[in-house]
Chain A
Amino acid sequence: MAHIADSLYSGFLRSAERFADRPALAIDGREYSYAEVRARAASIAATLAVRAPESGPPLTAVFAYRSVTAFTGLLGTLLRGHGYVPLNHTLPPARTALMLERSRARAVIVDRESAEQLHDILRGNPDVTLILAPDEQDVGWLAGQLPGHKVLGARDLEPGEAWIAPPVDPDAIAYLLFTSGSTGVPKGVTVAHRNATGLMENMVERYDVTEDDRVSQTHELTFDVSVFDMFVTWQAGGCLCCPTQKELVAPGRFIRKSGITIWFSVPSTAIFMKRLGLLKPDSYPGLRHSLFAGEPMPIEVARGWLAAAPGTNIENLYGPTEATIVCVGYRWVAGRSEAESEAGVMPIGEALPGVRTLVVDGDLREVEPGEAGELLVAGPQVTPGYWDDPETTAEVFIVPPGESERFYRTGDRVRSPLPGHPMTYLGRLDHQIKVRGVRIELGEVEAAVREATGVDGVVAVGWPATTTGADGIVAFVGSAGVDIVAAKATLAARLPPTMVPRRFVLLKALPLGASGKFDRKRLLESLAEEKE
């Protein structure tokens, strides 16, 4: 098998040559060597090439959850020369169906557990023709449920030994991820190979990752930090350790049992570990690096983590999917970091190699050091834009006045650093919030609530507020007669659990602010007053 430089998977293939017998993946009590993972992925790639239609966009969906199929399926998709579209069976099937339909992918790679949802997800889908369940011996039951689709199982796989990955255009899509969209439908972010390859190399160097490292894989594949987990590890020849859904519930036990040396999670996981008393002194002596991204990292949690893992480096990384995983980072320095923090959370630090940041005012003019403004990001990690949505792409991927480079408008408020100081994160400019690290557009929640209730006046707010975002969502509905139970059931079938409002407040009319828009601030204050 030959490999082509500068694609997301090149590093994996190099490691598969050098470290064939070393473990590439540990999952569900088993380890898979590089040779084995490569063989499985190559076989999937060959099967896709022979059996999947050539028409349609060069994308293949991977509908698998914390299974060996998920990882070999995604690698096989890349080795086929396609970009992968990760889908997650713990999300409502209606939402998964929408993502799949929007991607227009022709083939879906599936594992056993997720396959049971396929019947619902494929209903009305005009594009998908091939279903590949590479780890299922018997696919008769699935074929029976999916008339009109070609269903292939383990016995139908083509041999992979002779498979040669086709040359990949660095501008080709490596993966397509859907994030919450303010207009009511998920937004697809396309990421090209060239956006990610440099970052992977920089990160292997930054953390001195080697074949002896065992790296956690806590992030869902639908969340782009998982790309870091996988491809930084595989580039270095290390072992990716993926906890099962159940193991994820006991993260401390997982770290010790799996011999994790590099941990990466959303801060929420660390916050809960601290609350549960899992950050006892010296609990995790094997950790070399502990990385956090996705939401603000409270400094008290960083301190607790450092006590539990005295040998670790702690970093807070920042980055939107549109600028490829992480683009700004901050390394904790005892004694100094407390002073550099703002509002109790770690700074986000400085631009990673190759990244250019700009902090601007409403007219896109750079603000003075020490002032707050919107963070813009430029450099090789800035992605081509949104899938099938040139309008939104043109709105947020821009060339500011006086600049020649293309920048992504993050919508995040930061403080422009004074010389010698790190950048600090201040919050969002719009109505996007984070609930346990998951990015949520309140506009999307509001659109869904409007549809579920038939009421136009709807405001969603993050509540209760936490140092990292919010614990959940409260929806205010401007109507006295709404069947809340029915509305919740409708929403639960459409939205991920974190996006379903925990509580509905019915008001005859929603208060208006000076601009004539609904007064969010007053609604939030009403919740705060309740608590007192």
Chain B
Amino acid sequence: MSDLRDLYQELILDHNRRPRNFGPLAEANRSAKGINPLCGDKVTVHLQVEDGQVKDIRFEGTGCAISIASASVMTESLKRQTREDAVSLFERFHRMVAPADGVESDPPDMGKLAAFAGVRDYPARVKCATLAWHALRAALDGKEKAVSTE
């Protein structure tokens, strides 16, 4: 079985301890909340989108180390990205943590997000890793209601 350290990499533990871009965003023009009903994790993503570009992004919420670190690294990765880049990054991230048909792939250009590759050995935790991303997607789509991982 895979080593726990593959899951709880130093980068993840660090972002869990000191989440980046954490808190409200005064200039936000879109926000969406993601809820994982299984464990009660809640993450709200605030976006300031201008001209199809993520000008600023912050998040708030409570959750396990995987979901908080994932949200934190996500916000770092998305600043100044276009909407399309953000969606495409989510798709690659999703493929990395939940490989379709069990075909493992390490998509290129994942940067720090690559630290979450270990999640794929823990299927129960995929929802934690993608919670903030689902909220991001909902915020980009302008959805008002909380999205659920279920």
| Chain B binds chain A | no
The chain A residues found within 8 Å of chain B, CB to CB, are none
